[in-house]
């Protein structure tokens, strides 16, 4: 049923969204750690005290839930496809391993999301030619979903769309994919009708776990692709350099007049560093410039998992980044070293580090202030900033088969929160620590009730 | 055309101009993107012309039908069409997909034409034109006059709103002020259809 006034969680601009009421609930994807037949779950967290309000188990095991999203968001206010009287009430949860997609309704009882539709893998295969759905973004005209590969688990991966109202898959998005084959994330500059996509690897490359051979062979993704968002055509590729393996998360500036954004590469084969690039439009040509290098940290071999012993160092493994709605603070997860860093990126080509907290980490195992004596594993991974950029929530699991290589003792999962001061410094909230150890599943993507820094896009500056 | 008809046409024009989905919001967005009031004003003529084109084509098609078919048949046909379209607008939400934010003037006019047509802008105006006029010359002049009155009123409303929102209110006003005009629109269509059947 259409609303009389626009959904109150829609904002014409990111600036206005920063004045949104404080988030009360978080939705967190939980994935089965053992792979032995237990379904994944959707946890609802009460953010006032970090308690678990509910956990909804999926219908069947084996999904590997990753980056989910809302059915609609602030882009419904965009002037060329206006439909603001829809409701942000459905979460679209893709199973990265199963290719199944769940639709949850959170409207009637936000603390207990209700499963209302399941799109079976065969439907996705048949209607889109893709498999392994990974990231969901609410577009102006459809729900957009990225997929890591084709039905056989090989290249090309790409993007498909779901109907806004029925959630039926509408088909492959790309009309002309040009040189693009590998796929990971996607997002857009709505004000410039431009989509950006990134590259991880095909399902067959990544599902068995990280491969030293592929890494040394520089065969993981290292390119960005620029697309005409309305004509759905490939315009340009940007090679970040094949030493920079795995170009993952795309965080365009939220201000639609801006033409830049940030992407992280997980590991450099030359020195194990992780790197962050700024892409930008320069005289009609899209370019990328390396702006941050986070070096590996030396560590004794006996503290390291097998693949890292030979290096005597821990790579930072930057696996997620998040840009606050004022386009000012970039949060960076160093999953390997166990550090969450903050940079002031007001000048996107000259970042300034403003904060850091340590928790977990392959060698360090830093504790949380809530329990100073307890060594934690995993590290800051999926990170999400509140709309007012004052609070940042993060979890510690990456991807099951990869977790177990870097943390062979098995990731015991948690969710933590930092407070961000005006100067961009970070402080771990000692009172907020969600411990999923008793559940046994691993926390991944976080979505905040009513929207967050990576779920909405805006058409007005 | 009598004064009442002219006033109703002007009122419908203002109603169409008031709807953010008919174009003034697009003009504001383009102005904000370029940070220029001139960009707002540049966007309005193509939007208004696209809307007028949609109205005129609808009137022309029905005028042609009136020359070929008995008046009662045309009246009931128009009534059924307009009512049916209103009901369809009530039950079916559509997310038009054509252009993005970077548009040429021609695309903007085309977008406005499609939005007006998809919403049945011409259909809503149609019943007013059934009241008078027979013969080719009368129908042509009446269609042109109807479109002109409707369009001038729409232009005035849409320009005023675009400028007030761009200069004074800011787009944040949309969050409270953007009532679901689609429902009102659908009800207006049904009402127009009923009036066509009764006249």
Residues of chain B with pLDDT under 50: none
Q: Give percent of chain A above pLDDT 90.
A: 96
Least confident of A225-229, A440-444, B139-143, B155-159: B139-143
Neighbours of A366 (CB within 10 A): 17
Q: Do the beta carbons of residue A288 and residue A278 sit within 8 Å?
A: yes
The per-residue pLDDT for range A272-285, each reduced to its tens digit, is 999 999 999 999 99
Report the C-alpha gap between B116 and B48 in whole angstroms. Answer: 10
In a domain, A453, yes or no: no
Read off the pLDDT of each residue in A355-376 and give the average, rounded to a whole number: 96
Environment class of residue A307 by beta-carbon count within 10 Å: exposed (0-12), middle (13-18) or buried (19+)?
Answer: middle
Q: Is the peptide bond before B28 cis (omega within 30 degrees of 0)?
A: no
Which residues span the domain enclosing A378? Answer: 14-448
pLDDT for res B152 = 97
Looking up tokens 């009512």 gives B83
In a domain, A1, yes or no: no
- Among A152, A237, A150, A143, smallest CA distance to A199 is for A237
Q: Look up the pTM and report it.
A: 0.95
Read off the pLDDT of each residue in A180-187 and give the average, rounded to a whole number: 98
Pairwise CB contact (< 8 Å): B95 & A6: no
Within 191-230 of A, beta carbons closer than 8 Å to B belong to: 191-193, 229-230
Residue A210 pLDDT > 70: yes
DSSP tag of A176: B
DSSP B168-187: II-GGGHHHH---HHHHHHH
Residue A237 pLDDT > 80: yes
- Among B15, B28, B116, smallest CA distance to A12 is for B28
Report the residue from B26, B35, B178 with minimal CB separation from A6: B178
Angle (deg, nearest 10), helices B105-119 and B37-68: 50
How many Cα atoms sit within 13 Å of A443 on the Cβ side?
34
Pairwise CB contact (< 8 Å): B97 & A141: yes
CA distance A240 to chain B (A): 28
How many CB pairs below 8 A link A and B?
94
Read off the pLDDT of each residue in A368-391 and give the average, rounded to a whole number: 96
Number of helices followed by number of strands (H, E) in chain A: 6, 30
Beta strand ranges found along A260-312 (DSSP E) = 260-268, 274-282, 285-294, 297-298
Report the C-alpha gap between B176 and A14 in whole angstroms. Answer: 17
pLDDT for res A1 = 65
In a domain, A265, yes or no: yes
CATH code where residue A23 lies:
2.130.10.10
Using a CB-CB cut-off of 8 Å, the residues of chain B touching A141 are 95-97
- Among A367, A283, A354, A272, smallest CA distance to A318 is for A272
At residue B89, φ and ψ (nearest 5 deg) are -65, -30
Q: Is A322 helix (H, G, I), strand (E, B) or coil?
A: strand
- Among A139, A137, A5, smallest CA distance to A81 is for A139
In a domain, A240, yes or no: yes
Rg (CA), chain A: 20
Residue A294 pLDDT > 80: yes
In a domain, A459, yes or no: no
DSSP A85-150: TS---EEEEEBTTT--EEEEE-SS-TTS-EEEEEE-HHHHHHHHSEEEEEEEEE-SSSEEEEEEEE
CA distance B83 to chain A (A): 20
Report the residue from B32, B174, B180 with minimal CB separation from A2: B180
Report the C-alpha gap between A73 and A10 in whole angstroms. Answer: 6
- Among A106, A81, A78, A80, smallest CA distance to A91 is for A106
pLDDT for res B96 = 66
Q: Do the beta carbons of residue A275 and residue A244 sit within 8 Å?
A: yes
Pairwise CB contact (< 8 Å): A191 & B101: yes
Using a CB-CB cut-off of 8 Å, the residues of chain A touching B158 are none
Under an 8 Å CB criterion, which residues of B touch A?
20-21, 25-26, 28-29, 32-33, 35, 93, 95-103, 111, 171-172, 174-176, 178-180, 182-183
In total, chain A counts a number of residues equal to 461
Angstrom CA distances, A456 to A190, A447, B174, stand at: 11, 11, 17
- Domain count across chain A: 1
In a domain, A3, yes or no: no
In a domain, A8, yes or no: no
What ipTM does the predicted assembly reach? 0.91
Report the C-alpha gap between A424 and A342 in whole angstroms. Answer: 7
Tokens of A191: 């004000």
- Among A118, A116, A112, A117, smallest CA distance to A55 is for A112
Average pLDDT, chain A: 96
In a domain, A423, yes or no: yes
């Amino acid at each position: 049923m259409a609303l009389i006034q626009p959904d109150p969680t829609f904002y014409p601009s990111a600036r206005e969204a920063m004045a949104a009421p404080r988030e009360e609930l978080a939705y967190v994807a939980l994935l089965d750690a053992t792979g032995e037949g237990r379904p994944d779950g959707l946890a609802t967290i009460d953010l006032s005290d970090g308690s678990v309000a509910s956990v909804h188990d999926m219908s069947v095991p084996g999904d590997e839930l990753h980056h989910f999203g809302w059915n609609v968001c602030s882009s419904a206010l965009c002037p060329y496809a206006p439909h603001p009287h829809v409701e942000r009430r459905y979460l679209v949860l893709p199973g990265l391993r199963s290719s199944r997609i769940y639709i949850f309704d959170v409207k009637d009882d936000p603390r207990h999301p209700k499963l209302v539709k399941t799109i079976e893998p065969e439907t996705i295969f048949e209607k889109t030619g893709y498999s392994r759905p990974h990231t969901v973004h609410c577009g102006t005209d459809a729900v957009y979903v990225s997929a890591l590969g084709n039905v056989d688990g090989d290249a090309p991966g790409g993007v498909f769309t779901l109907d806004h109202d029925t959630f039926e898959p509408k088909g492959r998005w790309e009309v002309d994919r040009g040189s693009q084959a590998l796929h990971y994330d996607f997002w857009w500059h709505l004000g410039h009708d431009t989509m950006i996509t990134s590259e991880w690897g095909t399902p067959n490359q990544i599902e068995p776990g990280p491969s030293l051979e592929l890494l040394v062979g520089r065969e993981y993704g290292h390119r960005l692709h620029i697309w005409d968002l309305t004509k759905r055509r490939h315009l340009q590729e940007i090679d970040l350099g094949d030493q920079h393996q795995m170009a993952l998360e795309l965080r365009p500036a939220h201000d639609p007049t801006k033409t830049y954004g940030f992407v992280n590469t997980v590991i450099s084969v030359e020195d194990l560093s992780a790197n962050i690039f700024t892409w930008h439009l320069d005289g009609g040509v899209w370019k990328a410039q390396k702006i941050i290098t986070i070096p590996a940290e030396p560590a004794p071999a006996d503290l390291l998992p097998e693949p890292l012993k030979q290096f005597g160092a821990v790579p930072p493994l930057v696996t997620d980044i998040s840009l606050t709605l004022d386009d000012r603070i970039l949060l960076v997860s160093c999953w390997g070293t166990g550090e969450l860093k903050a940079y002031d990126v007001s000048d996107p080509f000259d970042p300034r580090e403003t904060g850091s907290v340590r928790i977990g980490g392959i060698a360090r195992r830093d504790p949380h202030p809530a329990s100073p004596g307890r060594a934690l594993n995993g590290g800051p991974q999926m990170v999400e900033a509140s709309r007012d950029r004052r609070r940042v929530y993060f979890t510690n699991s990456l991807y099951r088969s990869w977790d177990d290589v870097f943390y062979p003792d098995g990731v015991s999962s948690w969710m933590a929160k930092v407070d961000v001061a005006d100067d961009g410094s970070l402080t771990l909230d000692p009172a907020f620590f969600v411990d999923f150890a008793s559940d046994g599943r691993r926390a991944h993507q976080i979505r905040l009730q009513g929207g967050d820094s990576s779920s909405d896009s805006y058409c007005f500056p | 055309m009598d004064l009442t008809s002219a006033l109703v046409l002007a009122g419908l024009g203002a109603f169409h101009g008031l709807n953010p989905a008919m174009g003034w919001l697009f003009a504001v967005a383009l102005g904000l993107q370029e940070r220029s009031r001139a960009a707002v004003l540049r966007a309005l003529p193509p939007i208004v012309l696209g809307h007028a084109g949609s109205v005129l084509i609808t009137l022309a098609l029905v005028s042609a039908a009136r020359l070929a078919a008995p008046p009662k048949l045309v009246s009931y046909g128009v009534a059924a069409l307009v009512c049916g379209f209103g009901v369809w607008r009530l039950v079916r939400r559509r997310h038009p997909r054509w252009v993005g934010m970077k548009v040429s003037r021609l695309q903007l006019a085309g977008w406005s034409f499609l939005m007006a047509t998809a919403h049945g802008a011409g259909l809503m105006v149609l019943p007013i034109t059934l009241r008078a006029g027979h013969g080719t010359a009368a129908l042509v002049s009446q269609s042109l006059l109807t479109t002109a009155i409707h369009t001038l009123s729409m232009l005035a409303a849409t320009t005023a709103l675009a400028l007030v929102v761009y200069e004074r209110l800011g787009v944040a006003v949309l969050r409270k002020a953007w009532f679901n005009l689609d429902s009102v629109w659908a009800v207006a269509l049904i009402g127009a259809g009923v009036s066509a059947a009764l006249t």
